[in-house]
Chain A
């Protein structure tokens, strides 16, 4: 079945540091890939998405590129802020059989940014 593997956290950075959170996936067909962010005490917000190979999703300074050859969708940001502290989930939406349209999540990565 479909699966998503995220780098283990927590990740602790100083403000203005470079951020990378690794995400790799296993899926049949042509999944869509997403990054969701969850701030403390809140639901999930869609951060960015990519629906086909080589697409780059971007939002609020975050970027991720859909790499089919390495089955990866790594999240990057050039300069993090304290307000970016949250839990980040990589997810895929399958395109094959019973996985169609269902979101499969990675385990989540806790990011803490210090001033």
Chain B
């Protein structure tokens, strides 16, 4: 299995809702990432997990809350989002965060989030 699977593929939520995005990989990778991509822009790094511990938070607002329950699963909990948070949210993984320098990342297909 060489895939990163993200669910749901599409999500519409109100500004008072709480929702979660899910990301799963079974490649044995120990580094996992959340990226945000606005239309016609490159992805922007949000969070990095290394061996299930949060290692990088790129000053992301607290309405985004990541969680890594085990080495295969990464969640992004959403609460009180704003319309400007509407974007494609991409999950990625690499063997380790150090190996990503030579390996690169494997990306999922993303969750397209619309906040209304």
Contacts and interface: CB of A to CB of B under 8 A. Distances in A.
Contacts, number: 64
Interface of B: 4, 6, 31, 40-43, 45, 48, 56, 90, 92, 94, 97-102, 104-110
B45 A44 contact: no
Given A42-B109, A43-B108, A102 B45 contact: yes
Contacts of B40: 108, 110
Contacts of A102: 45, 48, 56
A105 B110 contact: no
B102 A105 contact: no
B101 A94 contact: yes
A45 interface: yes
A105 B97 CA distance: 17
B110 A43 contact: yes
A89 B92 CA distance: 15
